[in-house]
Amino acid sequence: MMTLAIELSSVLGSVALLSDQAVLAEETWNDRSIRGQQLFRLLPDLLKKHGCALNDIDCFVAGRGPGVYSGMRVAITSIQALALPGKKTMYTLSSGEALAREISETAPAGRPVAIVGDARRDQVWYGVFRRTDGLLACESAWALSGPDEL
């Protein structure tokens, strides 16, 4: 199964092409001002390098934050636009939970992992996760607070 994944909920944007669970290609960029524009500049070359066309993609995935609202909106709208003509499958995944899963794999067993990001206006968003028996569990729902309260 071919999957195209788009993540734009942070300053670092990325697009990845996957075959089953193997990453075939990934492009990342670090420029908030051209987040959506860069996606559409890189996407055709990414597909072409791997002999893949949009029709070959079975599933489209977008990161749904928490994070930068405008980036999430661009990512979700993009997968909808790309998937709709072929009535392909679309998913959104928690960007923060994906990061927590990656970090928890190297953390000592049972140790909590906190994911924290800048929510602007003197606030941060955060979530706390714990990996037990190979499964990641959310210990606190995503929340906002002032940095001093955290």
Of 47-51, 63-67, 111-115, 117-121, least confident by mean pLDDT is 117-121
Rg over CA atoms, the chain: 17
Residues 54, 52, 16, 131, Cα dihedral to 10°: 100
Amino acid, res. 101: R
Residue 107 reports pLDDT greater than 90: no
pLDDT band at 32 (very low <50, low <70, confident <90, very high): low
Residue 131's closest CA among 144, 150, 149, 113?
113
Q: What is the pTM of this model?
A: 0.86
> Percent of the chain scored above 70 by pLDDT?
97
